[in-house]
Amino acid sequence: MSLTIKMVLPDAPRVRALADGSVAVPGVELQVDASIRVVGQRFEKMLSGEFDAGEMCVLTYLRAREEGWPFVGLPVFVVRGLKHRHIVVRRDSNVRTPGDLAGKTVALTRYVTSPVWTRALIQREYGVPLDSVRWLAAEPELWPISIPEFHPERLLEERTTLLDLLSEGKLDAAIFPGNDGYNCFFGGGGLDRRLRPYPNLKTLIDDPQVVIDYYRRTHIYPIIHMVVVRESILGENPDLATRLVSAFQQAKDLADEYLDDEGKRRAAEEKMILGRDPYECELTGEDKATMSLLLDCALEQKLLRKKPEIESLFAVESFRSGA
């Protein structure tokens, strides 16, 4: 009898072959739900136990795991990208670079995961102490953060969006997600679409060369979302993690079949800039360095209590440890 696994995934080219059945997992009846459009709802359903495996925001996974959540990761990174273009300001703002954000009021959706990377960029690259900024969060965290040093301040306005508040001059800047993958270099992603109704707003850093130079200097390509699986299922089924990762790799290799010509061109440019495909289903030395930096930043930002060993976050048999 085959094993049945319920999995929630985004409707994205690199995993679509799993969702539509073009790629199968040997010995597994995979029931994939790729119909949930709101990212946070996918995570909430994972946290509620509705699915056995699926996409998870990395910091939400780390927070939940620290509290005993019974899931473990696979080296399948569903969403990646640099966060430079996620800082949004008014066109008439006196904030010209991220270094000008000291003393300002900046809002974000939640504190994890993408904003962790953006705040780290502001701090580490532009020298802005994080405690010099007034940070406001629009939504509660999906997994509560019970660390005493973490004191989130919430927006008071209801039934509005960060971009509305920013456009009205009630904020100095907003950290708003939407441009990942090749869009993090060149724009054209979800953030750009959301900015269209706001002609008085712009991304603070909009020069692709700034973003490209950062990667070439640091070799950090942030990991935002990954795939996690219920530990009990892996424990009862030897080599299942390997079979799952192999299936994700096959689906990734078929991604071009689900991309239009523009997407294919941009994806090729992304690989050319990075010198590799960042979505290969493995944990390379560069990926380990990226995860290590994320953990360090999460500790600095009072989002984790301690730094776990990176290998402990993944099913051991599921990854090839690259140089």
Domain annotation covers residue 323: no
Instruction: Quote the distance between the C-alpha of residue 98 and its chain's center.
Output: 21
Among residues 156, 188, 218, the one where a domain terminates is: 218
Residue 158 has what pLDDT? 60
Give the torsion sign (CA, 58, 59, 63, 64).
negative
Do 67 and 181 belong to one domain? no
- Please state the pTM of the whole predicted model: 0.94
The helix (run of H) or strand (run of E) holding residue 40 is helix 39-47
Residue 142: C-alpha distances to residues 20, 68, 153, 158, 223 (Å): 28, 15, 16, 18, 18
pLDDT 10s per residue in the chain (323 long)?
489 999 999 999 999 999 999 999 999 999 999 999 999 999 999 999 999 999 999 999 999 999 999 999 999 999 999 999 999 999 999 999 999 999 999 999 999 999 999 999 999 999 999 999 999 999 888 888 888 888 888 887 765 789 999 999 999 999 988 889 999 999 888 889 999 999 999 999 999 999 999 999 999 999 999 999 999 999 999 899 999 999 999 999 999 999 999 999 999 999 999 999 999 999 999 999 999 999 999 999 999 999 999 999 999 777 655 54
Report how far residue 298's alpha carbon sits from residue 257's, in angstroms, rounded to the nearest whole number: 37
Could you tell me how many residues make up the chain?
323
Contacting residues for 306 by C-beta, under 8 A, at least 6 apart? 66, 299
Distance CA 115, CA 279 (A): 21
Q: Which domain holds residue 121?
A: 84-218
Boundary-marking domain end, from 203, 218, 233: 218
Evaluate whether residue 313 is within a structural domain: yes
DSSP secondary structure code for residue 225 in this structure: E
Give the number of domains in the chain: 2
